[in-house]
Structure 1
Amino acid sequence: MTDQIQQRIDQIKEDLQVDFVALALSTVNEVTKVRVIRWNYVAGNTNQHYQRIKLQVGKGIGGIVWRTGRAYQATELQKQPEKLVELPITRMEKLATIVAFPALEDGEVKGVLLVGYREETLITEDFLAVAKEKTDELLVYL
């Protein structure tokens, strides 16, 4: 199953013509009962630093989308030092424009899909609609 998910992430990167795509999934620590969100599948990464990112619900892009169950969008990220601290994946991958969507099933977040550009890019409504569709298609794997 993991190979299939990675292939889908690679395909989404090609379909959307973006620089970076990542899918965050979560696990719950059995002892502490704390949910940890990690970027498990990526395409277009420049390094392996994303593997060290562990987010809590409400923290970072993955955590914010996980908590709210709503899409998140940001631009000019490299010009905003405070955002780079709050959103570690954008700093590590030098992303300038990002959009993240929750993969929702019966109102519950199953994953978060992040797509991004390393250059400032205008995000259109059409792009948002297609990216949301791609997120929904991932649910069969989650």
Structure 2
Amino acid sequence: MGMLQEGIIIVQLEHIRVRTHSDFAAMALPLGQGSGLLHWSCAAGNTNRRYEQMKVKRGRGLAGLALQIGRLLTWDAASGDAAKLHGMYRDCPVLMAEGLQAAAAVPLHSSLLPDAGLLLVGRRQPNAYSAAELLDVQTCAEALGDLL
């Protein structure tokens, strides 16, 4: 990804973060053909830069599960089955590193790549995303996918 494209994507992530009332927004891109791994390439609202060293493995944690099932997936610390929610949190290190208590992850698709990447938004308070906010996340993911 070139510096100009990265700058445009960071501006879009900041827009997504504000529009969805999130504290954090990040995009993960594939590491290579067939590796099954993605890396967090850009973020907005981050408290540190540890996300740059983290990977997303298909089927692991919130982000990996969203990638595997191919649709939006949400998590928040205040609801649901504690064991299941803990596993989705524990297996998604960016949630822990950023202190997120609620999150939504959605795969990105472009005209060239069906699995172009992943968008994750999150909050540092355990406030679940509303249906309208989740619709915004999906709309923003479609727009972000078009940039790839």
TM-score norm. by structure 1 comes to 0.86
- CA distance in structure 1 between the partners assigned to 2:25 and 2:141 by the alignment: 11
**SS in structure 2 opposite 1:109?**
coil
1:117 is matched with 123
CA contact (8 A) 2:100 2:124 kept: yes
Which position in structure 1 is the counterpart of 2:30? 26
What does residue 103 of structure 1 align with? Answer: 108
Q: Percent identity?
A: 25
Q: Tell me whether 1:69 sits opposite 2:75 in the alignment.
A: no
Matched, 1:138 2:135: no
Q: Give the 3 Å change call, closer, same or farther, for CA 82–35 of structure 1 in structure 2.
A: closer
Deviating above 6 A after TM superposition, structure 1's stretches of 4 or more consecutive aligned residues are: none
Is 1:94 the counterpart of 2:119? The answer is no
Deviations 1:97-141, CA, capped at 9 Å, x for gaps? 001111234682211111111001132111111111011111221
Instruction: Please state whether the residue corresponding to 1:40 is helix, strand or coil.
Output: strand
Query: Could you list the runs of 5+ residues in structure 1 that have no partner in the other structure?
Result: none
1:81 offset after TM fit, Å?
4.7
Partner of 2:135: 129
Task: Tell me, yes or no, if the aligned pair for 1:101 and 1:132 is still in contact at 8 Å.
Answer: yes
How far apart, CA to CA, are the structure 2 residues paired with 1:73 and 1:35?
Answer: 21
| Long gaps (5+) in structure 2 | none
Specify whether residues 118 and 60 from structure 1 end up closer, same or farther in structure 2 by C-alpha distance, changes over 3 A only: same
1:6 paired with 2:10, answer yes
Q: Structure 1: how far apart are the matches of 2:128 and 2:53? A: 30
Q: For the residues of structure 2 that align with 1:137 and 1:101, how far apart are their CA atoms?
A: 12
C-alpha separation in 2, matches of 1:59 and 1:81: 12
Amino acid at match of 1:95: L
Amino acid at match of 1:7: V
CA contact (8 A) 1:24 1:62 kept: no
The 1-side partners of 2:86 and 2:20 are apart by: 27
Q: CA RMSD in A?
A: 2.1
Q: Number of aligned residue pairs: give it.
A: 138
